[in-house]
Amino acid sequence: MAQLTPSGLVKILGLVTAIMVIPMMGGALAGLVLDAALRTSPWLVLAGLAAGTLFAAIGIWLLIREGVRRGYTGGGPSDKA
């Protein structure tokens, strides 16, 4: 199993934060702009937030999958018995 250094953990924390915050805020902001233009408040904000949450969940899943492939967990494909 690969070892993570403290700087590696900080990098992962930053990645998780970016993967979670950017799509969710982007979706909510896009929904706000569209709601103001189309006068459909709050429906497009909620739809944008839901879409951003979905994209964030997919991003976290991809990050975890990459960590498993690199051997940062004990149960990935890199385990050879």
pLDDT tens by residue, 5-24: 889 889 989 999 999 999 99
Which three-class secondary structure state does DSSP give residue 77? Answer: coil
- ∠ CA 13-11-49, nearest 5°, is 45
Nearest-CA neighbor of 63 among 27, 22, 11?
A: 11
Residues of the chain with pLDDT under 70: 1-2, 74-81
pLDDT at 50 (0 to 100): 98
pLDDT at 37 (0 to 100): 96
pLDDT at 5 (0 to 100): 86
pLDDT at 47 (0 to 100): 97
